[in-house]
Amino acid sequence: MPLEGSQLGWRYADGPWLFNDFSIALNPGEVVGLVGPSGSGKTSLGRLLSGYMKPITGKVILSGDELHKGSCHPVQMIFQHPERAVNPRWRLSKTVTEGWSPDEALLEALGIQKHWLQRYPNELSGGELQRCCIARALGPETKFLIADEMTTMLDAITQAQIWHTMLDIVHTRQIGLLVISHDHALVNKICGRTVNFA
């Protein structure tokens, strides 16, 4: 069953609508690109689809039911800035195992070295920390991933490594992946179809 956003609308307080009456569907195992300019509301849409926020209008549906946020949630979001997505007072061992315990094969596939897990977020590079955030998102209950500018802040080599691993995992596990980006070249390379968001 797909993850569906039906006639979604969102705005801040009494400001203008960032988007309204917007619908999108993501199927299991599908890699879809969402492309739009900065400030168009792409991140807000990702938060709605992953249950971090509730839409003002419309609804998010998963497997035929309206989405509700839970601890082991089937829709996970990976944010552009990993340092904002973790508790700075937690060692990475606690962050990565929040809600579940990843196996060594996944950690190895993501290039996570064991000694990183004994460190705090400020002791890792952006690429190292993002790999840990990806591992946290890939729990056994994960059916869909929202990747919001996931590798924008990383160097080209690290970007390529992370996307290669991510695509291998989502294809193997048939996880639906929504790639939020303003990078048309990246989206055209890795996504089966593209949705323009303006």
Residue 101 · residue 110 · CB < 8 Å: no
How many CA atoms lie less than 13 Å away from 131 in the CB half-sphere? 24
Domain coordinates of the chain in residue numbers?
3-196
Sheet (strand 3-10) strand order: 19-26, 3-10, 57-62, 65-66
Residue 189: what pLDDT? 93
Residue 59: what pLDDT? 94
pLDDT digits (tens, 9 = 90+) for 169-185: 999 999 999 999 988 88
- Residue 130 CA, distance from chain mean position: 11
Please compute Rg for the chain using Cα positions: 16
Residue 21 · residue 58 · CB < 8 Å: yes
Of 3.40.50.300, 3.10.180.10, 1.20.120.1770, 3.40.190.170, the CATH number of 3-196 is: 3.40.50.300
**% of the chain beyond a pLDDT of 90:** 64
